[in-house]
Structures are given as C-alpha cells and as structure tokens.
Structure 1
Amino acid sequence: MSIRRAGRAGGFTLLEVLVALAILAVALSGAIRALGNGAQSAEALREHMLARWVAQDRLARLRAEQAWPPVGRSEGVAEQAGRRYRWRQTIRGTPNPLFRQIEVEVLPADGDRVLLSLHGFAVQPLR
C-alpha cells in the first residue's frame, strides 16, 4: 500500500529560478568588469615600464658618451620589446655652468600623449 502525499512536488518554482539567474547575471557582470579593468591596468603598467626604459636609455647614452651636450631639443625613435616609441629630449642650462638639465619625454609612435617624462643632469667633464 502506498500513501500519496498531496501538495507540492519537490523543486524550484519558475520565479525562484529567475531570481537566482538575475543574481548570477549581476555577479558575473561585476566579475567580468573587474577582469577587464585588471587587464587594462596591466597593459598601462607595461606601457609605462617600457617608456621608462626608453627614457633611461637616452640618459644612459648621454652619460656613456661623456660629451658635453649642447643646449636644445632633439627627437628620435626607439624600439623597446618590439614596440616603437618616439622620444623628445630637451637640454637646458642651469645656474651652475658645469651642469645641464636633461628632460626626456617618451610618446607612443602613433600618438601625442606623453607616456613618461624623466629628468636628469649632465656634468661637464673636467679637463
């Protein structure tokens, strides 16, 4: 003999399933947005790091040449990690005639936004 229970069968109602799916959709969209922001931040950090290497390379070259750099502005192109960058170098005099201030700005090859600006000094070689 089997006794049948009257009432509701086990499982979820359509409304409960829809509410659960809505909560899941909101949570997943937030997670995807966070992943996208993380990827953008990582790319921006990489771009900044490569730009810093280009600028440091310019300053290191001036030190290695051990020549007294003339006051003025120069531009060029550099490649770092397979990417091309433009650099602008401005050399200015200082109140002390034995020093010159050097500013190196690094820009993407196809843009005018300055990625990084680095400052340094050159010292006139003693004779």
Structure 2
Amino acid sequence: MRGRPSPFSPRGATRGFTMIEVLVALAIIAVALAASIRAVGTMASNAAELHRRLLAGWSADNALAQLRLAHAWPAIGEQRFDCSQGNVQLVCTQRVSTTPNPVFRRVEVSVSTPGESGVLAQMVTVVANETSRSL
C-alpha cells in the first residue's frame, strides 16, 4: 500500500515549527525580557539613591569640618541651611546640645532632601570649647 504517507509517520513529517511552538517560544522570550528590563530599572534606581546618599554624607562631613575649622563654640539649638552637592538639592539640619561634661557640646548634622521625608545621612561629633582652654 503505497499512497500518501501518514502525517504521524517520520517520513511524512514536515520540517519546521508549528504556530503553537513559535507562540510559546515568543512568550518565553517576552517574559525573560520583561524580567531583565525590570532588573535593570531597579539597578538604575538603586544607583541613583546610592549617589544621593553619598552626596548627603559628603555634605554632613563638610558641615562638621567647617565647624571644627572655625574653632568657635557652637550655640545650643537647631539650625537649617542649604548644603547642596552637585545637582542634588540638600538641606542640612545642625542640632547642638549639651553633654554631661560642660567643656564639650554634641553636634549632630542630618541631611535630607527638601520636600521629602526621611534622612539621607546623619553624622555626630563632639566639639570642645577651645575658647576656655588654657595654653
């Protein structure tokens, strides 16, 4: 019986992919691409946040360095000032408080972004009263 070969026989099978196989492959590729795009977006967002925190740390360090270099006895209280770095708008809040030893004052600098809640960086130091120090 030689006639038409059966579509299920190996000799009669045609080569290539069926439409279902192509659609399944495309769906798998689409899911993989979507996952990779999301991962890249998350990495970019994390890098931007890390950059902001780095600049905020530098701003806090700069504020404390200026205080040390001034050799001035800081007044107790809170002070806010602009401490922007690069193209990032930042606001520093400097809080000066007493310590158990009257010769020292505790200085805390917190850095935040204007209009947003939360602190990007915070540094604390103790400043000695150099004006009352004997030589």
Identify whether the pair has TM-score above 0.5, normalized to the shorter chain. Answer: yes
Are 1:26 and 2:31 counterparts? yes
Match of 1:103 in 2: 108
Hey, which bits of structure 1, 4+ residues long, moved more than 3 A? none
* Cα deviation, residue 113, structure 1: 2.5
**What aligned pairs does 1:85-100 form with structure 2 within 5 A after superposition?**
85-100=90-105
Paired residues in the alignment total 123
Please give the per-residue CA displacement for 1:48-105, whole angstroms capped at 9, x wherever unaligned. 0000011001100000000111111111112211222111100000001111111111
Aligned equivalents of 1:83, 1:35: Cα separation in 2: 23
Q: Is the 8 A contact 2:99 2:105 kept in 1?
A: yes
**What aligned pairs does 1:14-93 form with structure 2 within 5 A after superposition?**
14-93=19-98
CA RMSD of aligned residues (A): 1.4
**Structure with the higher fraction of residues in strand conformation:** 1
Runs (5+) with no aligned partner, structure 1: none
Please give the per-residue CA displacement for 1:15-71, whole angstroms capped at 9, x wherever unaligned. 110111111111111111110110011011001000001100110000000011111
TM-score (norm 1): 0.90
Q: AA paired with 1:25?
A: A
Q: Is the 8 A contact 2:52 2:88 kept in 1?
A: no
**Mean Cα deviation higher: 99-108 or 79-88:** 79-88
Aligned equivalents of 1:61, 1:12: Cα separation in 2: 71
Larger Rg: 2
Aligned equivalents of 2:16, 2:80: Cα separation in 1: 71
